[in-house]
Structures are given as C-alpha cells and as structure tokens.
Chains A and B, each alone.
Chain A
Amino acid sequence: MTHTQRAIAPMLRLPATPDEKPYLVGYRCPACNATYIGGNRVGCSKCTYVGDLPEVRLSDHGTLYVYSIVHQSAPGIPVPYVSAIVDLPEGVSVRCNLVDIEPDPQKIEFGMPVDMVTRKVRERKEKNAHGDEETIDIIAFFFRPGKD
C-alpha cells in the first residue's frame, strides 16, 4: 500500500523530492511588504493595497515571542502542551506547538531561538482516483529549541 504525505495546513509545503526540506509560505504585500500567513487574500489589510500578494518562502527558524501551557483542551487532544507564537525573520508570526521542551514556565525563555521540524501527526485511509485505498500521512510543523 502506498503512503502519501499531505500537509496539515496550506501554509506548510511538502516538496516532492525527499532531499528538499518542507517549508512554510507567506504572502507579501508588494506595496508595503506586510507579510501574511494564510492565502486567499484579496488585498493587504495594513496598507489597503488590493491585488495579488506574491508568495514568499519563510525561514525555518525564528524566536519565541510568547506562549501558554495548555492543560485543558478538547477531548482527544493530549495535554499538557505548549501553544506558542513564533516570530519569523520575514516579519510575520506563526502559531504552533513548541516541542522538545518541558511544559514548565521555568524552562521556557522569551526570545529563545527556535527551529522548525515536521512530524507525522495522524494518518487516514482514502480511495485514490483509481479506486485503490491508500494511506495519507498528515504532516504538521512544530518548533523546537534551536541554535543561536
């Protein structure tokens, strides 16, 4: 049975060739350079430019802005985990889980460098165009403590 990888959200790109690393994309206003995560934009809410916002590849490293440690969540979601806001060098922020760190305020430092990693979070079975069942691996991105 074949395994196909699928990104959990459109902002994450999974290149077809295995030697190329997954990356996040943003959309940058050609008029004022404001950068957005998430597409389907009609214009720029910062400067009111209307028109296409070209895609921009985002860095796979950033710094931790703030976080919360979630101890109570919806059913089926493992807790505790660290929900974090990471600032990327392109001037845009991304919400993510901060992993490979103890969920303890004493261990988490504001401004710490963080690196992006991708991991399979779940899989689902789907029938492909030929009617064959295939397994879809859902891939998500995370950030973990990184190097300066």
Chain B
Amino acid sequence: MRDVYVVGVGMIKFGRYPDKDVSQMGAEAGVLALKDAGASIKDVEMLVCGNLFQANAMNAQKILQQIGQTGIPALNVSNACATGSTAVREAYIGVASGMYDVTMAVGVEQMGKMGLLGGGARSGGESVEGVLGSGLMPAVFGQAGVEHMRKHGTTAEHFAKISVKNHKHSVHNPLSQYQVEVSLDDVMNARMVAYPNTLYMCCPTGDGAAAAILMSEDKIKQFTSKPIKVATSVLTSDPYTDRDLTMPDVNTLTQNAAKEAYEKAGIGPQDLSLVELHDCFATAELLHYENLGLCAEGEAGRMIDEGRTELGGDIPVNVSGGLLSKGHPLGATGVANIYEIVTQLRGQGGARQVEGAKAGLAHVIGLGSACTIHILTA
C-alpha cells in the first residue's frame, strides 16, 4: 500500500440550512477543499460522498453535477454516524491501493430539527419504544455511561465536566454550531434527557458538510510543501460480546480499532498531540478515553477531573468543541474531524491551537456498529 496525504480540507459552519439542499452543501464543502488544496475538480479521479438520510439520492453524482461533471467514478456510502469517516477511508483506499492519485471525500447531512435518533422502535408492526425499554440514542448512551458508573464508580458530575470542557473549547471555533460556554451548574441543572445525560450533554442535530482531498506521494509536490500524512485508516465492526445485541457495546470495537491503528501507524497514545473523538453524548467521551488508551481502565473520571483533556492539558480532546457543540450532521461528522486534525497539524487553529501539534487521532463510532480511526501526522 502507498502512503496517502491530505492536501486540502474544507468545511461549512455546522448549523441549520433549510434553504439549501444536500448536494449544494456538499458541493460548497468540496469547493472549499479544492481551493485549500490549490486543485481543480479536474484533478480529482474519484469522489466518495458520505450521507445517511438521503443515501439513495446519488449525492456524489449530484455534487459533480454542481461543480464539474468530469465523468469520474463517484460513489455513495452510509455507515451510521461513521458515514463521513467511511467516505474518507474509501478515498484513502483509492489512493493507497495505487488505483488513483487524487481522490475526494465529501461528508454531508441535512437533519433540520430532527428529534431523537435511534432504532428498534417497532417489532412486527407493534411499537415497542418506551415499553420494552428504549432504543433511542439518549438511553443507549445513558446506559453506556451507567455501565461505567457501575464498574468504576464514575459520577454524573464526571460526565457533566465533559460537556463543560467541550463547550469551553467551542467558543474558539467559528465553524461550530454552538459557541457558548456553560458552567458545571448549567449542565447539571439542565433538563434531563436520559440519565445521566442532561440537555447540554447531548449533541444537537443540524446540517453541515465537510470535504477532504487525498493524494499520493508522487502527486503532492505539485500542490503543497506541507502535506499531512494519513498514518493509518482503520475500520472495525462490533465483534461478538455478551450483551452487544441487546445493549450496543460501543467499547470493544473502539478498543480493537485503537489497537490496530496504533500498531499500523507505529504511534502510541503517548505520541498524540490531540484527539477528536465521538462525543455524541458526554458519557461517550469519557468511555473513549479508556477505549483509545488515553488513560488506564477506570481512570477516565480522574482524567477529566485533572483537566488533562482540556486545551493546555497533556492530551487535548475535542478542541473543535466536539459533537456536543460543533454539531453532528451525521454524514459530515467524520470528515469534519479530519478537517480539525489537519487544521491543527498545520498550526492554523487560532485561539484553539494545540501548541506544536505533530500527530492527531480522529475517532468516530456509528451505532450498529462501525468504528473508524484515522491517525494523521504533520
């Protein structure tokens, strides 16, 4: 396999765009990434579009119909919340395999004010949601947090501190859907959604798009003197664990992905300058500190208490504001993570810049389940 580099990234501010359509948002992000790379759509040899809720709408082709119908292979992927990062991985494979020198991944989603997400609401025609427990995401990730409380004595306050941290980071990210600081009291006293996650501990729904241009080593010299290397791209699915089919196990597939990513990249958690991880709910972020090996098992509560994952700490997590603030337009999320890591590794993070960032990890998990990890290096 060949080395692969990210040469351009683009992202529109996450928010609500009721007057735009999916292909338009995707095309806008694509144009931003091409401009960032100093490339033209004519340079792109394959386009992968990640989108979940309009997955049957041929959005990759529609994006080309907006910015250049060059006739290249265009494909559409969906993989729950890991849809965007799966698009990046497909674009990565296209270059790594030697088949293409320049590929583009676009992640885009239009959710509007869509409410609570999740499945399992029906069984043979009868609605079971709220009768046979809850299959909606707030309860699923509430239970995942409660499991950590049971095993390690973690408290609701530990989880709430994640929300405080990520909202604090978000004020420095102009592309974040929300840029509002909240206090621990604000978070703890906010409306309870599904214990232990209150309103500010749940990511918003919204619209957004992000794009990335990937190139082979032969090609990058024409475009940049500061390429960002994709040290590894890993995708896992949920292996069999005892309760997984009843209570989605978000931990094991992340642990497996992390182990594989560190081995393949030759980079360990101690070498990372920053992490963008999948904080769809505050509970999730805390679990992933351990799953990604940022701390030992059972130590995640102490990690947030000690401020180690804040900007300025030894391993800043979600300096973009995370999904909790930046937003989580599902298909766009995984590409937006790459946008943030590339921005940081280039030293273009402004007030949220992690000093001397050399290596960053982007993690996404889609319930069902799919987990991606990309490690990028400057």
Contact = CB atoms under 8 A, between A and B. Distances in A.
Interface in B111-146: 115-116, 121, 123-124, 126, 128-136, 138-139, 142-143, 145-146
B223 interface: no
Interface in A61-119: 65-74, 77-81, 83-85, 87, 91-97, 105, 110
A46 interface: yes
Given A45-B240, A65-B243, A81-B130, A71 B192 contact: yes
A94 B145 CA distance: 18
Contacts of B136: 70, 73-74
Contacts of A91: 242
Interface in A7-38: 8-10, 34, 36-38
The main secondary structure of chain B at its interface with chain A is loop
B191 interface: yes
A29 to B, nearest CB: 11
B246 A110 contact: no
B126 A68 contact: no
A70 B134 contact: yes
A71 B194 contact: yes
Contacts of B134: 68, 70, 73, 83, 95
A66 B124 contact: no
A103 B147 CA distance: 17
A73 B130 contact: yes
B72 interface: no
Nearest to A48: B240
Contacts of B192: 69, 71-72, 80
19 contacts: A9-B123, A9-B128, A34-B240, A46-B240, A69-B195, A70-B194, A71-B195, A72-B193, A73-B129, A80-B192, A93-B243, A94-B246, A95-B132, A95-B247, A96-B132, A96-B133, A110-B150, A121-B131, A140-B131
Given A73-B116, A85-B143, 4 more contacts: A9-B123, A65-B243, A94-B246, A95-B134
